Amino acid sequence: MSALRAIIGGIIGLVAGYFGAAYLSGIVMGWFGVSDFEGQRGMAAVFLFGPIGGLIGLVGGIVLGLRTGDKQPVRRTLRHAGIAVLAILAIAAAGLAIQYYSVPRPLEYDGAGAALQFELRAPAGFALPSDANAIEVTLDTDLNQQPALWLERPAQQEDGWQTLSGTVELYYRTSQRLLVFRFPDGRDRIFRPDLGAKPDPEQGWSDWRKVDFVGLPDQPQAVKPGPEDPLEIRYRVRVRGIE
């Protein structure tokens, strides 16, 4: 129980010491005429005096937690103090990891954004709309939904296939991406690109991939594609500013 008291006391002391020192140091620096030009006073409070106060509060909270209750041998007290410090560090590391992975991270390559270029092809006998804009395309991820743009219209005819080209911005690092083509008849052809959270632009065009799922207006869940879905896509990642 003494180790648990030390952990709780250390956490309370750390938080109270940090915010207390940051707040009071801002006031004291103002008394001594420290300038707040470009946030200098606030920066000193947050990044200098706050951490010092947090460290002092951490030590004081652990000591207070260990002193509460029955007296213990020095060796046991030191062991419980070490356990408390390691536990608090583990909790802090877990909190930072959760924050790191829960905040969306932009997909960038040396500061430049990226886009997913794609080609949709269908057999020559398949009735594609005369205007490609009749097919609404979005890139659906667990973080956002981004509309795509068609680059060429009408469809190009080659080797028994008719092909449309488009592009969509890639804003976030995520491996959960779906490229959805919503046709005027209400039948959605859904593709799952095989892309990592930060795909390699050097890989070039993917192989042609068949439809993974089909969304129907009268179905609450996507279904498997049928013979009426002979569509295929291929794609590549392009870094903005690099041809």
Strands (E), 124-221: 136-141, 145-147, 149-150, 156-158, 161-170, 177-182, 188-191, 209-210, 213-215
Confidence of residue 167 (pLDDT cuts 50, 70, 90): very high
- Is residue 194 pLDDT above 90, yes or no? yes
Q: Do 96 and 120 belong to one domain?
A: no
Confidence of residue 2 (pLDDT cuts 50, 70, 90): confident
Instruction: Evaluate whether residue 70 is within a structural domain.
Output: yes
Q: What is the mean pLDDT of residues 209-229?
A: 91
- Is residue 38 pLDDT above 70, yes or no? no
Instruction: Evaluate whether residue 108 is within a structural domain.
Output: no
Whole-number pLDDT of residue 208: 96
Q: Do 95 and 126 belong to one domain?
A: no
Which of residues 102, 135, 167 is at a domain's end?
102
Q: Are 165 and 117 in contact (CB under 8 A)?
A: yes
Q: What is the mean pLDDT of residues 73-102?
A: 80
- Is residue 185 pLDDT above 90, yes or no? no
- Is residue 107 pLDDT above 80, yes or no? yes
Q: Do 90 and 121 belong to one domain?
A: no
Q: Do 13 and 129 belong to one domain?
A: no
Q: Do 59 and 154 belong to one domain?
A: no
User: Domains in the chain: how many in total?
Assistant: 2
Q: Do 135 and 234 belong to one domain?
A: yes
Per the structure, the complete domain to which residue 166 belongs is given by 114-239
Degrees to nearest 5, angle at CA 59 with 55 and 61 = 110
Confidence of residue 96 (pLDDT cuts 50, 70, 90): confident
Instruction: Evaluate whether residue 175 is within a structural domain.
Output: yes
Q: What is the Cα–Cα distance from 147 to 239, expressed in whole angstroms?
A: 18
Mean pLDDT over the full length of the chain? 87
Q: Are 117 and 152 in contact (CB under 8 A)?
A: no
